[in-house]
A and B are shown apart, each in its own frame.
Chain A
Amino acid sequence: MAQGLTWTVEDADSMTQAEIYGEVLTQIGQQNEKVVALTADLAKSTKIGRFWEKIPERFYNFGIAEANMIAVASGMAETGLIPVVSTFATFASMRAAEFVRTDLCYQKRNVKIIATHSGTSFGTAGTTHHCIEDLSIMRTFPGMTVIAPADAYETARAVSAAIEMEGPVYIRIGRGFEPPLHKSMDFDFEIGKAIELREGTDVTVIATGVTVLHAVEAADRAQQQGVSVRVLDMHTIKPLDVEAVVRAVQDTRRIITVEDHSTIGGLGTAVADAIAASGKGCAFAKLGYQDEYSIVGYPEDLLHIYKLDADGILETIGLVLKQDFEQDENWEDEI
């Protein structure tokens, strides 16, 4: 459980999100000889290359062939190893989708996928290197655990927790230059449990991945205008922390979801399922890519254009607060 991690907060400041995960994975690999690392010619980009340097005998580069890599990982897991596979999100979740589903999920193999450059974090590379579908696809596979950590520290905790659990796990991160949300590795992290970053009673913003930081900023700005916003860091999309969602429905009656992902099938849809199942009325809005591919641009700009940053979230908060839902428009005093 995150023990033996020997770098300090100062080091972390200069390490990007991807590098921290590379460092954590290497340390875990040094402590657990069952861990092997696989890449599809993206070791340098995904920073799993750190593992390559330190533990070359347990590192495999399968070249630009993702489908083969996933199936090989499945075979390795059969022999008792714990393969950690890394490539870009679009290739991990779509190019190799059938292999993930049939060789990892159906066959219940203990393989961990670290999908980098998810969402539009690879901005200027364009849509062929973006991935706004992976949460939706991975959610649909029975047995898959799906996590979108908010920053480098959460990524490290997620990788650690993933290796400690049995079964396939899909972790999606950005390209590595995302700013930190937490101050250190020292916070409660449990797969499947949302982290309440801000308390509030007027509206709840449920965010995941790189948008969490923006949700917190929006909440703080709303607070200055007298609006009380609850922020939930829903790092685990599957299994979703349904209890936290239901509590938010009961306490605030207004929910906004934010994700660097399509609004179809990802966090927003998962939360909507939970709200509908709870049977209680709730004002609800999903922020994400509204069934469209993004333009080319720097990722920070894209988040702003598609209203996934603090400005966009704040604007949506305003809209949702004005919204009515059918129940309780009885304004007669009870005397």
Chain B
Amino acid sequence: MADHKEELKARVFLRSALPLVKVVLSERPNYRYLLYKADGVIQFGAKDSQQAAWVAMSPEGFEVKPGLHENPTISLIFKRLKDLNTFFAGGTALPSVSGVKGVPTLLRFLPFMLKLKILMPTAMPTDPAEKELKVRMLMQMIASGLSQLNKGGDEFLSSYIKKSPDRVFQFTVENGGPANYLRIKAGNSKAGAGTYARRRPYVHMIFKDIDSAFEVLTQRVGTVEAVRDGLLRVEGAMEGSKDIGAFMQHLDKLTMG
């Protein structure tokens, strides 16, 4: 049985990172050709854990869901969850592959998977389009990663969220840029796309533009300097902004450390 920490990591990789292929698709229309006549399901999993996820590819796009698909076209099962995590973190680990018929599907999927590498701390693109892609992916990943950690029982997050009243941590890039939020209440959490309209955010992190968001989210610039230099504006509860900062560090350490 994989240990709790590995379970949490896997949750984040499988339920927050893997779905980011959808963001890749929407930001890179030129990848559409890979979906032409695509039809298959790729199953990810590990022998020593329940953590699993599958990706269904079709000309319409992707469907990414946790758990086991009843009829995958191709399965990539790792011996240990630890290996799956290593694989998703960008390291070397080989799964056993079954379902030869699914190889074409896998080949179509590969470019998307490789694009996920842009999430790695070493990936520091200068091209504006690449920067934007990374920002969009990071923003969604932070919101859903934190939510998944809570749902998975991460001690640090769930102890805070259990006690919390209905609060929203909102992330926005100004002038029509991407927006994501994390809503928490009495143990529940939800990651959302866009702006949460139903109440004022408890903490609102507002990035001046994509470049500013890039600098801050990749941690090239710390939040204190970012605020000082006008890259970032924080509205709402000051204590709350410290909390969200701590959570982001926690998520980062868990997945990348």
Contact = CB atoms under 8 A, between A and B. Distances in A.
A7 interface: no
B148 interface: yes
B188 interface: yes
Nearest to B197: A250
A201 B237 contact: yes
Contacts of B190: 330-334
Interface in A244-261: 250-254
Contacts of B188: 329, 331
A328 B198 contact: yes
Nearest to A247: B200
B193 interface: yes
B202 A335 contact: no
B198 A327 contact: yes
B3 interface: no
A226 B22 contact: no
B199 A201 contact: yes
B15 interface: yes
Select the residue from A228, A322, A327, A334 with max chain B CB neighbours within 10 A.
Answer: A334
A202 interface: yes
A228 B239 CA distance: 11
Nearest to B196: A328
B128 interface: no
A251 B202 CA distance: 10
Contact of A251 (B19, B186, B193, B200): B200
Interface in A309-331: 321-322, 327-331
Contact of B189 (A203, A250, A252, A331): A331
A253 B19 CA distance: 32
B16 A335 contact: yes
A274 interface: no
Contact of A228 (B15, B198, B237): B237
A253 B22 CA distance: 33
Interface string B186-224: 101111110000111110000000000000000000000
A202 B147 contact: no
Contact of A335 (B140, B167, B186): B140
Given A321-B165, A335-B140, A251 B199 contact: yes
A252 B192 contact: no
Contacts of B144: 333-335
Contacts of A332: 190
A322 B186 contact: yes
Given A201-B237, A202-B167, A252 B199 contact: yes
B166 interface: yes
B199 A334 contact: no
B90 interface: no
Nearest to A325: B166
B236 interface: yes
A32 to B, nearest CB: 44
A252 B191 contact: no
Nearest to B184: A331
Interface string A234-251: 000000000000000011
A328 B140 CA distance: 20
B52 interface: no
B64 A335 contact: yes
B199 A253 contact: yes
Given A201-B237, A202-B167, A333 B15 contact: yes
A285 interface: no
26 contacts: A201-B200, A202-B165, A202-B202, A226-B239, A251-B200, A252-B199, A253-B199, A321-B165, A321-B166, A322-B186, A327-B198, A328-B198, A330-B190, A331-B189, A332-B190, A333-B16, A333-B143, A333-B144, A333-B147, A333-B148, A333-B191, A334-B190, A334-B191, A335-B16, A335-B19, A335-B140
Given A329-B188, A335-B140, 16 more contacts: A201-B200, A203-B165, A226-B239, A228-B202, A250-B198, A250-B200, A252-B199, A253-B198, A321-B166, A327-B198, A331-B188, A331-B190, A333-B143, A333-B144, A334-B193, A335-B16
